[in-house]
Structure 1
Amino acid sequence: MSDGPAGHVVRSTVRPNSETGRKGPLRRFLRTSDGVRIDSVYDPGPVVYENGSGAGSSPAGDPVFVVAHGFTGDVDRPHLRRIAEALARHGAVVTFSFRGHGASGGRSTVGDREVLDLAAAVAWARDLGHARVATVGFSMGGSVVLRHAALHRGVDAVVSVSSPARWYYRGTAPMRRLHWLVTRPEGRVVGRYGFRTRIHHRDWNPVPLSPVEAVPRIAPAPLLVVHGDSDGYFPVDHPRMLAEAAGDHGELWLEPGMGHAEHATGEDLLRRIGDWVTARAG
């Protein structure tokens, strides 16, 4: 896999910070266990700073939200920054671009090796001093947080928004278009130049653990499944399958009138997600 997006120019909406302890976002490239560079941003959130020096109390007791975006998103997209800003009212936030997206290296495997990207972001959050970590994922990122929690374990709460329950779903027009984008050479050209997303040409081998198969392995970490009843990509049988697989450790919010993923996640829902995580991982 390529380690860098040739010719890509980053127009960041995030002001980078040094690691001097000053209040404000910190930008860093992380390295995954398979060697891919991942563009990542840390926002300390409502940490108490003393004497105006930026030397604050330890974040060990504060929850950190590690946010996994949907397919074709990246850390600089306005909708992801809006979500990060809303969750930062509840705790620190780590956002990042999955492999093949934005300024990150590699090529997208559409939910397979992306668990390694999330693992690197979670490890960074812990290196920054956070003892309590919650993962929040949207669409493809929603499936990644489920698989990460099952395969890597150790997170304190999981929120999956607009996730598929099973692979290869083609039952809606948006998903048929997405499969064309991923599986056809001309689709991958559109993905690269139209969506700033570099997609790997190889099929999955082996096929990764599906989201619904991953869910039972997440316990005892609490799981929140959020889905819109007007989602144009995945109908409501997907979140219901996930909630059923979760059993007593899972909770389902089926949101009236909500569409798909980040763009459809409003401020009130983000506040409720923040409250839910704080109550369970704070």
Structure 2
Amino acid sequence: MKKVENLRLSRSSLKRILLGGLGGGFSILGIILGIGLYIVETIIHPKRLATFALYTFSPFELGLPAEEVTFTPLQGDHEVNGWYVPYPEATTTIILSPGYRGSRSDVLGLCALLWKEGHNILVFEYFGHGTVVGKPLTLGYREINDFLGAVAYAKQRAPHARLGAVGYSMGAAVSIMGSARTAEIEALVADSAFATHKSAIEYAVHRTLHLPFYIFDWITDILLWLRAGYHFRQVEPLRDIGRIAPRPILIIHGMKDSVVDPRDSDLLYRAAGEPKELWQLPGVEHCGAYFADRAVYMQRVIHFFDEYLRKLPPLQEQRPVSYVERESEQQHLSEAG
């Protein structure tokens, strides 16, 4: 009799353990799902900028003869906002873009200094990130179209001018991917770029939650596809940067960056072809190289464009893979895998 009671007790205990474990499993899964959803929603639906954040400097304060311009992206039915600053008889145009939620006014100081060096300037902000706020965003996937639209507009305004580009953070990552898709950009400065979409999110999760990202990796990628229409693997400057060569690239990164892992700059540098330069600054935060020493920063950037954009003849290179070809290639690779 005792054996039967013990057996029933054991079965009852086992049932409670199993149900408790099942409930705990669902709780853990719910937490993972919730955090994954939070990550995705933070990317694509960030908080609206406060009104005062839009009241900032413009070309007027710097005395720049800038024109308020809009242009169309390579794909999409929106318009991209920018300033175009022509320089008399310039033979070069520099395209500048800020990062995630960045405004064109964020890089206005650099625009003014490069313009004084004799370059035409086109500075723009990615749609939904700056003065146009509250729109669904991606972390570089659709923003490539804005960058390529800027390239087309710059060539339209000054057809014979050679093009260079400067990008910051997400803008640097997009500039890398965009330059790999067009032969028009002949020299690129990438400041604080992430190596991959996934590495940027992984670094943020590790620093804020102090947890390994692999716990949330798969669910975040699925939710990103469901909510925004793309996967992590579709935004990878690390994969694209090798296609820029033999055009030169200058990679800049602060080694105290709390937004993008400084190790990403090493990965990008190793993957890039020649000619390439890597400038890492100890003790400098995200996109802080300019502010650490403005004179040295400008000297380096100006010299880079003088050396590779003004002095050297245009490069005769193979036609880069187009955006459509790249997406087709990735689809083929994913199907093959």
TM-score range, shorter chain: 0.7 to 0.9
Shifted more, 267-276 versus 216-225: the winner is 267-276
Count of equivalent residues: 238
The change in CA–CA distance for 1:206 and 1:72 in structure 2 (over 3 A counts) is: closer
Deviation at 1:174, TM superposition (A): 8.6
Q: Percent identity?
A: 23
Unaligned runs of 5+ in 1: 17-22, 48-55, 185-199
Q: Give me the whole-angstrom Cα distance separating, in 2, the residues matched to 1:36 and 1:113.
A: 12
Asked if structure 1 preserves the Cα contact closer than 8 Å seen for 2:248 and 2:276, the reply is yes
Give the one of 218, 225, 229 matched to 2:255. Answer: 229
Could you tell me how far apart the structure 2 residues matched to 1:143 and 1:175 are?
A: 21
Shift of 1:211: 0.8
Aligned pairs for 1:232-247 within 5 A: 232-247=258-273
Q: 1:120 aligns with which of 131, 139, 149?
A: 149
Alpha-carbon distance, 1:100 to partner: 0.8
In structure 2, relative to structure 1, the CA distance for the partners of 1:86 and 1:15 (3 Å cut) is closer
* Equivalent of 2:70 in 12, 29, 33: 29
Native 8 Å contact 1:99 1:107 kept in 2: no
> Once the two structures are superposed, what CA deviation does each residue of 1:138-179 show, in whole Å capped at 9, x if it has no partner?
1101100110011223211011110111222223469758x9
Distance in 2 of aligned mates of 1:174 and 1:24:
45
Tell me the SS of whatever aligns to 2:136.
Answer: coil
Shift of 1:31: 1.3
What are structure 2's unaligned runs of at least 5 residues? 1-43, 214-218, 221-225, 311-337
Native 8 Å contact 1:101 1:108 kept in 2: yes
- Cα deviation for residue 265 of structure 1 reads 2.0
Structure showing the higher helix proportion among its residues: 2
Q: What does the per-residue CA deviation read over 1:27-81, in whole Å, with 9 as the maximum and x for residues that have no partner?
A: 111111322210110122xx3xxxxxxxx43x3x2x22101111111123xx322
The structure richer in strand per residue is 1
* SS class of match (2:280): strand
Alignment of 1:130-145 (within 5 A): 130-145=160-175
Aligned residue runs from structure 1 range 40-51, under 5 A = 40-44=82-86, 47=87
User: Deviation of residue 203 (structure 1)?
Assistant: 4.7
The one-letter code matched in structure 1 to 2:280 is: L
236 and 206 in structure 1: CA distance in 2 versus 1, 3 angstrom threshold: closer
1:232 and 1:85, CA in 2 relative to 1: closer, same or farther beyond 3 A? same
Give the 3 Å change call, closer, same or farther, for CA 242–24 of structure 1 in structure 2. Answer: same
Higher RCO (CA-CA < 8 Å; seq separation 6+): 1
Q: 1:148 aligns with which of 174, 178, 181?
A: 178
C-alpha displacement of 1:275: 1.8
Cα 1:154/1:202, change in 2 over 3 Å:
same
Mapped partners of 1:27, 1:68: distance in 2: 15
Deviation at 1:233, TM superposition (A): 2.1
Q: Find runs of 4+ consecutive structure 1 residues off by over 3 angstroms.
A: 8-13, 103-107, 172-177
- Name the SS of the counterpart of 1:171 in structure 2: helix
Q: What CA distance in whole angstroms lies between the structure 1 residues aligned with 2:71 and 2:205? A: 36
Following TM superposition, by how much is the alpha carbon of 1:264 offset from its aligned partner in structure 2, in angstroms?
4.3
The change in CA–CA distance for 1:104 and 1:123 in structure 2 (over 3 A counts) is farther
Once residues 208 and 150 of structure 2 are traced to their aligned partners in structure 1, the CA distance between those partners, rounded to angstroms, is 31
Deviations 1:64-114 (A, max 9, x none): 2101111111123xx322222222232221111101123348532111111
Conserved in 2, the CA contact under 8 Å of 1:37 and 1:104?
Answer: no
Equivalent position amino acid for 1:146 in 2: I
**C-alpha distance in 1, partners of 2:138/2:240?**
18
1:265 matched residue in structure 2: 290
Distance 1:135 1:270 in 2: 14
Indicate conservation of the 8 Å contact 1:174/1:233, yes or no. Answer: no
State the SS of the aligned residue for 1:248. coil
Q: Which has more radius of gyration?
A: 2
User: Any idea what the Cα deviations from partners look like across 1:236-259, whole Å, max 9, x if unmatched?
Assistant: 321111111113222111123221
Moved more, 202-211 or 158-167: 202-211
Matches within 5 A, 1:81-120: 81-90=108-117, 91-104=119-132, 107-120=136-149
